[in-house]
Amino acid sequence: MLKAFTNCFRIPDLKKKILFTLGIIVVYRIGCFIPTPGINAAVLAEFFQRMNQSGGGTIFGIMNMFSGGALEKMTVFSLGIMPYISSSIIMQLLTAIIPALEKLAKEGHAGHQKITQYTRYGTLVLSLIQSYFIALWLESPQAFQGLRVVNDPGLGFRFTTVLTLTCGTLILMWLGEQIQESGIGNGISLVITAGILSRGPDALQNLILLLSPKVATMRQIQPLTLLIMVFFLVAVVLSITLITQGQRKIPVQYARRIVGRRVYGGQSTYIPLKVDTSGVIAIIFAQSIILFPATIATFIPHKSVQMLATFITRGHFLYYTIYGLLIVFFCYFYTAIVFNPVDVAENMKKYGGFIPGVRPGTPTADFLDFVMTRITLAGSLFICIVAIMPDAIMAAFKVPYLVASFFGGTGVLIIVGVMLDTMKQIESQLLMHHYDGFMKSGQLKGRR
């Protein structure tokens, strides 16, 4: 594997793409330290430190993870790239629901460019809305136990914050697109991954403090516990890799056709049905919904709202039940949108393809739906386990949420998937120039 990394810099074109990608990531990380005007950074940092050492449970904690810690410093990239991700998911769902968008998606490159433009408009709208609510949250002393985070609250602060955070998200979107065009890997995914990995040093520092016997104010862990956690981390990464790459191959046989003097068809292939079709989309949607009441409670100090937020918080059985059901629902919902068994069956029938032992047409569609329903159940249950894993680690090993989040949850799913995808693209470049890949036998498979 080390030889493969060395060979990457022997190919001029690949070397240029890798260095360009690393340069964009450096620019992104520099932007994560440029502060937004009018913020008391010390008070805000203290708030997030308390939140990380406790449950880490609001939607602001999730946003802070995806922004690479930029939110707790309230920098220009505090919103991160999440508005673009949300806009992309919404557009993908609307494309499957609205006939006009579905027709546009089938028009090739021109239609794809049009949908991308709509996604950018959606990113702008979501950024404006989210940044405005963040400005209101920063101005509320109740959210920070009476402390003032904003030095001079008012309309001017709100306008400055909305403008700064929105422009920061649009710049991040542009940086991701530049990686997509001139770099290596998926630009947006790499930006998210860089942000999550940037939290690693802080998590490692907290872990070292927990191991130190000199710190009496923090909960301690034993060296044996650390070894168990390391073993657990390796097992989690391996299992996520297996499920991410896991697929059910449905064999397809094409009938032989004779047109004039030529013979067409007759070959065998297969339809790859992924175990985890939704990827991280299901867990992101479920997190957003389950954390919404707790977030609203910070803005609405009403007794009924506070009571609802108390029941649907980490540590309660109702929270995990609803969270798990939401993940399963969105796994099936997204799979139903991106995979249509009826269309697949019709296309197979049109070109003379059939599944051995299954009649073409409706029986084929029913068979594909039967198989997809059952493998999606396995994938969704696995996603549920990964989603609640940080909470289980917090309870079992007595570690802060920042440390536990690197042993499961959305962050680990994204890191593993993006790394596999990027290494697959690099390996394809190496093989094209007659170099060995990362593995001596076989090839890597990307998420797609």
Tell me what pLDDT residue 86 has: 82
Q: Identify whether 167 is part of a domain.
A: yes
Provide, rounded to the nearest whole percent, the portion of the chain with pLDDT above 70: 83
Tell me what pLDDT residue 301 has: 60
Q: Identify whether 416 is part of a domain.
A: no
Q: How confident is the model at residue 438 (pLDDT cuts 50, 70, 90)?
A: low
End-to-end CA distance of the chain: 22
Q: Identify whether 104 is part of a domain.
A: yes
Averaged confidence pLDDT in the chain: 81
pLDDT at 297 over 70: no
Q: What is the pLDDT of residues 253-285, one digit of tens each?
A: 887 766 666 766 567 888 889 888 887 778 877
As a whole number of angstroms, the distance between CA 39 and CA 75 comes to 10
∠ CA 218-399-147, rounded to 5°: 65
Q: How confident is the model at residue 26 (pLDDT cuts 50, 70, 90)?
A: very high
Q: Identify whether 306 is part of a domain.
A: no
Tell me what pLDDT residue 302 has: 63
Q: Identify whether 291 is part of a domain.
A: no
* Mean pLDDT confidence for 284-292: 74
* Mean pLDDT confidence for 396-410: 76
Domain containing 107 equals: 14-198
Q: Identify whether 56 is part of a domain.
A: yes
As a whole number of angstroms, the distance between CA 357 and CA 406 comes to 46
pLDDT at 53 over 60: no
Q: What is the pLDDT of residues 406-436, one digit of tens each?
A: 777 778 888 888 888 888 888 888 877 766 6
pLDDT at 170 over 90: yes
> Which residue type does 181 have?
E
* Mean pLDDT confidence for 97-111: 83
Q: Is the dihedral of CA 238, 244, 250, 252 positive or negative?
A: negative
Q: What is the pLDDT of residues 220-264, one digit of tens each?
A: 677 788 888 888 888 888 888 888 888 889 898 887 766 666 766
Number of structural domains (the chain) is 1
Provide, rounded to the nearest whole percent, the portion of the chain with pLDDT above 90: 14
* Mean pLDDT confidence for 111-121: 89
Which has the minimum average pLDDT: 50-59, 101-110, 394-403?
50-59
Question: Residue 26 maps to which CATH number?
Answer: 1.10.3370.10
Q: Out of 43-47, 78-82, 146-150, give the one with best mean pLDDT.
A: 78-82
Phi then psi for residue 247, to 5 deg, are -155, 150
As a whole number of angstroms, the distance between CA 56 and CA 63 comes to 11
Which has the minimum average pLDDT: 78-82, 148-152, 211-215, 394-398?
211-215
Q: Identify whether 439 is part of a domain.
A: no
List C-alpha distances in Å: 21 to 168, 194, 382, 388: 19, 11, 32, 33
List C-alpha distances in Å: 100 to 85, 90, 96, 173, 445: 22, 15, 10, 26, 34
Q: Identify whether 113 is part of a domain.
A: yes
Tell me what pLDDT residue 174 has: 92
